[in-house]
Amino acid sequence: MDNAWTHTTVLLNEAVEALFADAPAAAGTYVDATFGRGGHSRLILSRLAPDGRLIAFDKDAEAVAEATRITDARFSIRHQGFRDLGELPSGSVAGLLMDLGISSPQIDNPARGFSFRFDGPLDMRMDTTRGESVADWLATAEQQQIAEVIRDYGEERFAVPIAKAIVARRQERSPVSTTTELAELVAGAVKTREQGQNPATRTFQALRIFINAELEELQQALEASIDVLQPTGRLAVISFHSLEDRIVKQFIAKHSREVYDRRAPFAAPVAMKLRSVARIFPSDAEVAANPRARSAVLRVAERTDTV
């Protein structure tokens, strides 16, 4: 296995502390829904009681390979996305962690195609064993589709000119197939950009989110968390951009209040299912040591004791 690319786990101690709710050692079943390179999982295992259990999910085959290096009998890994959390038994989970960031080995490996900083195939799939790559999709997608994806998932105001450039290139020569080709096309279509940000940043983010259905998977996983968490079980979610954080924030807010049916004003309200616990940001020291942590936010909620 190639270890050329290392990963520094963001909000490592804060996330695990929030998950265990200050318990010195915890029994029960915990879930690391996005194993990555295992930083959170290894710390969770160090805090688990002897009869505890940790189940990890990841759809990246490289992450699953890394997980096989953990020989702790309390640990298991599933080669699945966290949209499949609902397969776990209802009320069986004492703590559930979701780290929504992509790992440094994914970003830094040119073969994965996630970054405009390296020339490589325009892939961007989290799970390279299935689905179509970004290059495959851009080779056939209509201009309007491309513009909508870049606008909606990248919040890019130059989405239409970028989409026009991608389609024009496809018609005149051949479909864009590498990260450098795409970055150069975007740079030519974007007229202004925030200081210090590469013109391709928003477009690459948008295409990655779209091709992996990241927001849809997040919504499915959050809904499943309500069912699989046991009473007082903790949900901890680390997000890295506003689209993700908005979904998490709204989900916790939605389930942290009683719901009244206006059509039946005298009926008892549906009890709230979550209690918001905390919102935590990386320290200045962490951001200085790991600039990729600068946009992270950790939201923590607790399942109410009535399930």
- What CATH number should be reported for the domain holding residue 166? 1.10.150.170
Average pLDDT over residues 93-114: 89
Residue 57 has pLDDT above 90, yes or no: yes
Tens digit of each residue's pLDDT (9 = 90 or more) over 229-245 = 999 999 999 999 999 99
Work out the mean pLDDT of the chain and round it to a whole number. 91
State percent of the chain over pLDDT 70: 92
Sheet holding 297-303, edge to edge: 75-78, 53-57, 29-32, 93-99, 229-239, 297-303, 274-280
Cα separation, 244 vs 4, in Å, equals: 29
Sign, CA torsion 147/152/154/158: positive
**Among the three residues 178, 211, 244, which one is the final residue of a domain in this structure?**
211
The domain that contains 47 carries what CATH number?
3.40.50.150
Residues 98 and 218 in one domain: yes
Cα separation, 70 vs 59, in Å, equals: 17
Residue 160 has pLDDT above 50, yes or no: yes
**Among the three residues 195, 211, 227, which one is the final residue of a domain in this structure?**
211
Residues 91 and 229 in one domain: yes
Helix (H, G, I), strand (E, B) or coil at 113: coil
Task: Quickly state the pLDDT bin for 1 (edges 50, 70, 90).
Answer: very low
Single pTM value for the model:
0.90
Residue type, 175: P
Residues 91 and 39 in one domain: yes
What is the domain extent for residue 72? 12-105+214-303
Task: Quickly state the pLDDT bin for 292 (edges 50, 70, 90).
Answer: confident
Sign, CA torsion 294/120/150/37: negative
Q: Is residue 269 part of a domain?
A: yes
Residues whose CB falls within 8 Å of the CB of residue 275, separated by 6 or more in sequence, listed in order? 256, 301, 302, 304
Residues 200 and 266 in one domain: no
Tens digit of each residue's pLDDT (9 = 90 or more) over 63-88 = 999 999 999 999 999 999 999 999 99
Residues 93 and 224 in one domain: yes
Tens digit of each residue's pLDDT (9 = 90 or more) over 34-53 = 999 899 999 999 999 999 99
Q: Nearest-5° angle of CA 231, CA 236, CA 239?
A: 150
Q: Is residue 254 part of a domain?
A: yes
Residues 237 and 202 in one domain: no
Task: Quickly state the pLDDT bin for 261 (edges 50, 70, 90).
Answer: low
pLDDT at 266: 56
For 179-239, the three-class secondary structure string (H helix, E strand, C coil) is HHHHHHHHHHHCCCCCCCCCCCHHHHHHHHHHHCCHHHHHHHHHHHHHHHEEEEEEEEEEE
Q: Is residue 117 part of a domain?
A: no
Domain count, the chain: 2
Residues 141 and 275 in one domain: no
Q: Is residue 88 part of a domain?
A: yes
pLDDT at 233: 94
**Among the three residues 147, 179, 211, which one is the final residue of a domain in this structure?**
211
Q: Is residue 115 part of a domain?
A: no
pLDDT at 3: 46
Q: Is residue 32 part of a domain?
A: yes
Helix (H, G, I), strand (E, B) or coil at 155: coil
Q: Which of 7-16, 20-29, 111-120, 155-164 bottoms out in mean pLDDT, i.e. has the lowest? A: 20-29
pLDDT at 260: 55
Task: Quickly state the pLDDT bin for 61 (edges 50, 70, 90).
Answer: very high
